[in-house]
């Protein structure tokens, strides 16, 4: 059985650049690392695969991974949504709910780079990435909500950006359903656009150029599904409420929203 792997590293998502440890939300017991552990590192006898804002991911075997939260979040909620959208044909890793716990999600081990990695490595163009993200959003929003009585409400991912898509041999698969809720699809589209725009307006980031290109393609492909009025303000407010954002990232939000509006109107 898994020997309680705990890898308390800083967040490495170069896309949304948030850090749960920077926000004091880490709760690992091992010494903190300032840099990501190398791929293939073994922690408690288990292979460490990757980490993002809220979780560490370990290979249990060739077929399954364990995603263990570093924050207070209920993996069972996310697991139920993944099972539901997967049953509607949406590309998510297969989940093994019976093997999970409140903080641990056991799911299918996927092969392939994240969309962000593929962009950085030149294996995917920014235009293709933006179009793919838009199609994944549209497809998700075709699925009926599970609980909401509001007819227009849908399942929302609310963190669909290039570091949360794995490019597998059978197509893009969406991971990291930690923020999922039900609500207006415009909120989901707005949040993806705002996250990309935050990277695009960050003059200190080497990813600003590609992020802008991905955003341009996303905006074009989403068309009217990307509202630029009140829904965009709500998306920005949701992003601003993310406790993991640094003050600098929060300060970029107004410019990010302005960029989305400018691209949407052009």
Ligand X SMILES: Nc1ncnc2c1ncn2[C@@H]1O[C@H](COP(=O)(O)OP(=O)(O)O)[C@@H](O)[C@H]1O
- Sites of contact with ligand X (CB under 6 A): 13, 49-55, 57, 65, 67, 93, 107-110, 114, 163-164, 175-176, 178
Q: Give, as one character, the DSSP assignment of residue 31.
A: P
Neighbours of 228 (CB within 10 A): 19
Q: What is the DSSP string of 56-79?
A: EEEESSSSEEEEEESSS--HHHHH
Output the CA–CA distances (angstroms, integers) from residue 244 to 17, 35, 185, in the order listed.
9, 18, 24
> In the bound complex, what is the minimum distance in angstroms from residue 176's beta carbon to Mg ion?
4
State which residue, 17 or 67, has the beta carbon closest to ligand X: 67
Interacting span for Mg ion (CB under 5 A) from 77-85, 92-100, 169-177, 186-194: 169-177
CB of 93 to ligand X, least distance (A): 4
In order of 9, 24, 66, 80, 191, the CA distances from 97 in angstroms are 26, 29, 11, 8, 28
Q: At what angle do helices 208-222 and 253-265 cross, to 10 degrees?
A: 50
Closest C-alpha to 234, from 199, 197, 191, 182? 191
Q: How far is the CB of 57 from Mg ion (least distance, A)?
A: 9
β-strand 154-156 against 104-108: which pairing, if any? unpaired
Q: Is the Cβ of residue 12 or residue 208 nearer to Mg ion in the bound state?
A: 12
**Residue 114 binds: one of ligand X, Mg ion, none (C-beta under 5 to 8 A by kind):** ligand X
In the complex, minimum distance from the CB of residue 160 to ligand X, in angstroms, rounded to a whole number:
11
Q: Which residue of this chain has its Cβ atom nearest to Mg ion in the complex?
A: 52
Is residue 49 within 8 A of residue 40, CB to CB? The reply is no
Q: Name which of 94 and 261 has its Cβ closer to ligand X.
A: 94
Taking CB under 5 A as the criterion, the residue among 5, 17, 21, 52 binding Mg ion is: 52
Alpha-carbon distance values, 22 to 10, 204, 229, 241 (Å): 8, 19, 32, 15
Tell me which stretch binds Mg ion (CB under 5 A): 24-32, 66-74, 174-182, 207-215.
174-182
- The smaller minimum CB distance to Mg ion, of residues 17 and 228, is found at 17
Identify how many contiguous H helices and E strands the chain contains and give both numbers. 8, 9
Q: Out of 56, 78, 176, 221, point to the residue binding Mg ion (CB under 5 A).
A: 176
Does 56 participate in binding Mg ion (rule CB under 5 A)?
no
Stretch that binds Mg ion, among 2-10, 22-30, 49-57, 76-84 (CB under 5 A): 49-57
Question: Is there binding between residue 190 and Mg ion (CB under 5 A)?
Answer: no
Q: Residue 67 or 264: which CB sits closer to Mg ion?
A: 67
Alpha carbons 219 and 197: distance in angstroms, whole number: 11
Q: Which residues bind Mg ion (CB under 5 A)?
A: 52, 164, 176
């Amino acid at each position: 059985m898994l020997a309680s792997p705990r890898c308390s590293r800083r967040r490495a998502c170069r896309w949304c650049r948030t850090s749960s440890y920077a926000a004091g939300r880490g709760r690992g017991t091992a010494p903190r690392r300032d840099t990501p552990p190398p791929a293939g590192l073994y922690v408690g006898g288990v292979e460490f695969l990757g980490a993002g804002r809220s979780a560490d991911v370990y290979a249990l075997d060739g077929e399954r991974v364990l995603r263990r939260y570093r924050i207070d979040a209920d993996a069972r909620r996310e697991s139920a949504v993944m099972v539901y959208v997967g049953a509607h044909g949406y590309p998510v890793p297969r989940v093994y709910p019976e093997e999970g716990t409140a903080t641990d999600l056991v799911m299918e081990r996927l092969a392939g780079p994240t969309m962000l990695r593929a962009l950085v490595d030149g294996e995917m163009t920014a235009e293709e990435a933006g179009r793919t993200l838009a199609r994944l959003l549209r497809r998700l929003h075709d699925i009926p909500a599970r609980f909401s009585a509001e007819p227009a409400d849908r399942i929302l991912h609310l963190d669909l950006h290039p570091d949360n898509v794995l490019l597998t041999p059978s197509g893009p698969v969406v991971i990291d359903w930690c923020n999922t809720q039900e609500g207006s699809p415009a909120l989901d589209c707005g949040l993806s656009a705002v996250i990309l725009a935050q990277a695009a307006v960050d003059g200190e980031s080497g990813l600003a150029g590609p992020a802008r290109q991905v955003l341009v393609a996303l905006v074009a492909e989403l068309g009217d599904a990307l509202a630029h009025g009140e829904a965009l303000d709500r998306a920005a407010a949701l992003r601003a409420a993310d406790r993991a954002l640094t003050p600098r990232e929060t300060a970029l939000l107004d410019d990010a929203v302005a960029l989305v509006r400018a691209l949407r109107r052009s």
